[in-house]
Every structure is written in structure tokens, then in C-alpha cells.
């Protein structure tokens, strides 16, 4: 059965209109009629019209006016033109005005049916494209963030929830966890995605240059200011400004940021004119700002102003299951860039990658994979292609620095990878890492089983059963070394 269409017929030949309307109604369409522009406009306002069929000559009125009106007010409505005075120029003009097709009088029934069918197909394709575009917009910004870890999935959900919120957002996490990618994803999934996304690394600029960078300056404001300069806040107007390393901002800069975040107003360096902007601000830091507030290096009022929504990105140590996924992605990129035929890492090398603590997180992992692709002489990458710190042959200064600074706010659990799965069932293979994870957590919690169950996010009965099955219920284990 052919789809029914809501049609408006417009022609000053009333007998022709009535005849066509009766025939189209017999075909199953809903038909409305008009013999002038005023009547056509009234029908378009009163009814849900999907297709307009109009003559170009409506008494003393011009059918092109109706085409323009439909294009401007009802963009999803399709227009077919019928005329008894068609020329090539007329057809071109009608299409440029917004008509879908042009038919010549006297109309042939089959020709009109085909034209209506094409118009309906065009309408359906347009709607399908709009649906697909909305789906792509929904995914936009997250397609390059690879993860199936439940912590990151929660982050993705939060990105969706806050994408169109007007409030500031604080993204926290260690270096290399992807804070800038999450900030860009928030922008791309918001209604501001068509506007600028401007990024500023606050820690890379001294305080006086940072102020000029953010707010701009007027000519003569300081030595070297030979022309006026527009700041990042103005460049990001109606878009998003991403301030990375916000924890490095000085006390004076923090005062200025607090004002612009509260009032969205500022003055350029050396200027007196107050500028207003509609800029959405996303901030990021790898520092613990609550501690900075406690020791007086970060303003408490600014902290509460920016910490309305806090997105905490887990370290790579906390999402070790994502390492094979990330490695595969980085391998493809590096192999394509270097024009190398690479099969991937063998199981021993992958075990080393998953056992390493990754103080530099995803950024460090990408560098390690690129290094292996560049230096390897074989399509199959092995542990020999990994740097010494990943193999545990030398101390990792990044890991030592991370430990000394106390920058990791969340304690990690050991990530154990079975080194040999040959001849083992899945249950047997999983028992080894499961036992080590539970044993590690028991020791971390001084063998307090209730605290261990809470840390592992399982109930105590399940923990007791697992301890018994894995031989961890022996009290002598509390005083033993690693078993």
C-alpha cells in the first residue's frame, strides 16, 4: 500500500482543483484546496501539510511567493510546481526557489503519481538523515575515547548529563588520563558544538601573560603591547573555554577568575571597558584542590564555584582491562603512520603491559606502543620491544614522583594477568588473579573481613565463600609472606 500524504492543491482553476482533489482522495491522500495565496497560507497554518502542489500563476498573484513562504516556514514540506507555460528558465527558477519538481499541464495521472512518490521518498530520506545526524551528534566527542571499564562508562553517562548545563565543570585526574578529551567531548555533545572550543594551558604561562591570554589587552597596556588583543574568553563567546592546570593559577589570577565565572564580565588588561560574554568554562587539574584550599594556596570561594560538577577520571592502573583495547588502537595508528606491517604484542609482552603501573597513564602507553613499532624488527612485538621501566629493570622516575607527591587520590589494587592459560578452564584461570586480589585487599584492611568486602564491593557472605574456596580462610596467612 502506498503511503498517504497530506496535500495542499493551489490553483486558480477551481474546476481543475476539485477534479484533482477528488482523484487524489481516491488514492488515499488527505487533500486541501486553495485558489489564492491567502487561502494557501490559511491552510498551511491550520493543517499539517506535507506536500504542496501549486500553479505558478494564481490570477494576479505569483506562485513563487508561495514557494518562498513554504521554504522559510515549513522546511520539511515539499513543493511540486505545475504550469502550462513551462520553459527551461522557468524550471530552473522554480528549483532555485525551493520547488522539488516541475510538471507541465495538462497533467498526466501516472506522471503526477510518480512525482508524488518521489516527493514522499525525498521526505523520508530527509527525515532519516536528520535522525542519523542526531545519533551522530549524540556520539560526537566520545568516539576517540576507548574504554569498556565501568568507571569510564559512568564518566560517559555524566558527560551526557552535564553537556548542556550552564554551570562550570571541574575535571580531575592524573596527567595523561584524557582530561582535555573529556572536555572536548562535553563541548561536542552540547548545543554549543558549532561554536569555538578554546583551550588554555594555565601552567605554561607566567601570571602576567596568562591574564592577557585570557582577558586580552589594549594597545599600550604594557611594553610590547603594540596593538589591541582579544582574549580567550571573548574568542570562546557562546562556545567553551577549557582551562587546564587550573591549580597553578596565582592568588591574584584566582580573584579575576572568580569574578568572570560569577558575572561573565571582565576588563582587558589596561582597559576600562567592561566586556560581557556567554562562555561555558570547563576546568581541569591533576592536583587535589581540597588540600590546596586547606593549605591556603587555592581560594575556597573559587573552589566551591568551580566544583559544582566534578568528573574524576580513573588512572590507567584502575582500568587495566582497557589496556588491550587501547594497545590495539595505538598499534593501528602507529603502524599506519610508520607504514609497518605489525601483528601485535605476544601474550608475554601484553602481560607486562597490564602488570605495569603506568604513572603517565594513557599518554605514556601510547608512547610505549609507538616506540615498540618504531624499533621492532619483527611484525610480532615481544617484551624485548618494551622500555626497561615497563619490564621492571630500572626504577621509573615518574612512578617515584607520583608516590612522593601523593597525587594519586585513590588506592589501587594489584592487576594480575595469568601468564599461562594453556590447559586451564576459565574458572581455573581466573582463580589465580582472584585469589591475589582478595589476599591483597585483606592485607590492606588488616584482615578485617567486613572492610575487605566493602572495598571489593561484594557482600560478606560472598567474600567468606570465596576465601574458603581459594584457601584464604587459614588464619596463619595473616602472619605469612606472599603466598
Name the residue among 62, 15, 18 with its Cα closest to residue 36. Answer: 62
Tens-of-pLDDT digits for all 483 residues of the chain? Answer: 466 888 998 888 888 888 888 888 888 889 999 888 888 889 888 898 888 998 887 877 778 888 888 888 888 788 888 887 766 777 778 878 888 888 887 778 888 888 888 888 877 777 777 666 555 544 445 656 778 888 898 999 999 899 998 889 999 999 999 999 999 999 988 999 889 999 999 988 888 889 999 999 999 988 888 899 999 999 999 999 999 999 999 999 999 999 999 999 999 999 999 999 999 999 999 999 999 999 999 999 999 999 999 999 999 999 988 899 899 999 999 998 888 889 999 999 999 999 999 999 999 999 999 999 998 889 999 999 999 999 887 666 565 555 555 444 334 444 444 444 556 677 767 777 888 888 888 888 778 888 888 888 888 888 888 888 888 876 666 655 444
Q: CATH 1.10.10 region(s) of the chain?
A: 422-483
How do beta strands 229-230 and 344-345 pair? unpaired
Q: CATH 3.40.50.2300 region(s) of the chain?
A: 6-135
CATH topology of domain 422-483: Arc Repressor Mutant, subunit A (1.10.10)
Peptide bond into 106 cis (omega under 30): yes
Instruction: Give residues with Cβ within 8 angstroms of 213, minimum separation 6.
Output: 200, 205, 231, 232
- Give the span between the Cα atoms of 84 and 410, in whole angstroms: 78
- Give the span between the Cα atoms of 361 and 22, in whole angstroms: 71
CATH topology of domain 315-407: Helicase, Ruva Protein; domain 3 (1.10.8)
Q: CATH 3.40.50.300 region(s) of the chain?
A: 150-307
- What burial class does residue 376 get, using C-beta atoms within 10 Å of its C-beta: 0-12 exposed, 13-18 middle, 19+ buried? middle
Q: Are 102 and 95 in contact (CB under 8 A)?
A: yes
Q: Which CATH class, in words, describes the domain spanning 150-307? A: alpha beta
How do beta strands 61-62 and 57-58 pair? antiparallel
Q: What is the CA radius of gyration of the chain?
A: 33
Q: CATH 1.10.8.60 region(s) of the chain?
A: 315-407
- H or E element, residue 281: strand 280-285
CATH topology of domain 6-135: Rossmann fold (3.40.50)
Buried b (16+ CB within 10 A) or exposed e, 193-215: bebebbbbebeebeeeebbbbbb
Amino acid at each position: 500500500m502506498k503511503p498517504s500524504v497530506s496535500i495542499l492543491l493551489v490553483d486558480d482553476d477551481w474546476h481543475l482543483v476539485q477534479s484533482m482533489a477528488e482523484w487524489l482522495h481516491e488514492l488515499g491522500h488527505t487533500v486541501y484546496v486553495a485558489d489564492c495565496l491567502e487561502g494557501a497560507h490559511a491552510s498551511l497554518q491550520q493543517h499539517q501539510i506535507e506536500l504542496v502542489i501549486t500553479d505558478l500563476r494564481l490570477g494576479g498573484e505569483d506562485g513563487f511567493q508561495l514557494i518562498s513562504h513554504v521554504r522559510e516556514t515549513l522546511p520539511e514540506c515539499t513543493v511540486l510546481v505545475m504550469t502550462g507555460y513551462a520553459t527551461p528558465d522557468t524550471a530552473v527558477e522554480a528549483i532555485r526557489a525551493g520547488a522539488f519538481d516541475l510538471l507541465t499541464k495538462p497533467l498526466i495521472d501516472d506522471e503526477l503519481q510518480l512525482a508524488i512518490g518521489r516527493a514522499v521518498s525525498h521526505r523520508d530520506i530527509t527525515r532519516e538523515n536528520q535522525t542519523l545526524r542526531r545519533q551522530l551528534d549524540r556520539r560526537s566527542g566520545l568516539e576517540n575515547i576507548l574504554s569498556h571499564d565501568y568507571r569510564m562508562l559512568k564518566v560517559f553517562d555524566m558527560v551526557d548529563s552535564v553537556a548542556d548545563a550552564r554551570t562550570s565543570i571541574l575535571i580531575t585526574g592524573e596527567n595523561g588520563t584524557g582530561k582535555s578529551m573529556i572536555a572536548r567531548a562535553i563541548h561536542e555533545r552540547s548545543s554549543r558544538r558549532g561554536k569555538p572550543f578554546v583551550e588554555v594551558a594555565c601552567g605554561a604561562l607566567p601570571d602576567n601573560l596568562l591574564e592577557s591570554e585570557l582577558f586580552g589587552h589594549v594597545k599600550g597596556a604594557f611594553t610590547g603591547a603594540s596593538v589591541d588583543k582579544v582574549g580567550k574568553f571573548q574568542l570562546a563567546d557562546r562556545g567553551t573555554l577549557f582551562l587546564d592546570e587550573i591549580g597553578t593559577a596565582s592568588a591574584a589570577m584566582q580573584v579575576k577568575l572568580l569574578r568572570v565565572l560569577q558575572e561573565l564580565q571582565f576588563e582587558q588588561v589596561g582597559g576600562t571597558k567592561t566586556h560581557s560574554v556567554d562562555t561555558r568554562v570547563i576546568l581541569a587539574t591533576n592536583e587535589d584542590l581540597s588540600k590546596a584550599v586547606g593549605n591556603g594556596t587555592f581560594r575556597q570561594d573559587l573552589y566551591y564555584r568551580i566544583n559544582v560538577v566534578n568528573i574524576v577520571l580513573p588512572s590507567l592502573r584502575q582500568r587495566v582491562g582497557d589496556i588491550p583495547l587501547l594497545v590495539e588502537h595505538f598499534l593501528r595508528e602507529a603502524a599506519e603512520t610508520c607504514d609497518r606491517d605489525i601483528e601485535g604484542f605476544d601474550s608475554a609482552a601484553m602481560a607486562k603491559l597490564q602488570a605495569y603501573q603506568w604513572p603517565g597513564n594513557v599518554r605514556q602507553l601510547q608512547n610505549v606502543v609507538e616506540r615498540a613499532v618504531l624499533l621492532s624488527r619483527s611484525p610480532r612485538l615481544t617484551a624485548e620491544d618494551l622500555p626497561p621501566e615497563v619490564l621492571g629493570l630500572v626504577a621509573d622516575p615518574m612512578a617515584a614522583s607520583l608516590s612522593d607527591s601523593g597525587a594519586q587520590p585513590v588506592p589501587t589494587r594489584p592487576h594480575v594477568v595469568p601468564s599461562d592459560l594453556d590447559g586451564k578452564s576459565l574458572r581455573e584461570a581466573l582463580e589465580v588473579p582472584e585469589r591475589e586480589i582478595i589476599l591483597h585487599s585483606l592485607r590492606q584492611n588488616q584482615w578485617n573481613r567486613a572492610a575487605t568486602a566493602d572495598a571489593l564491593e561484594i557482600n560478606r557472605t560472598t567474600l567468606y565463600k570465596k576465601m574458603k574456596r581459594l584457601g584464604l580462610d587459614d588464619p596463619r596467612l595473616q602472619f605469612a609472606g606472599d603466598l
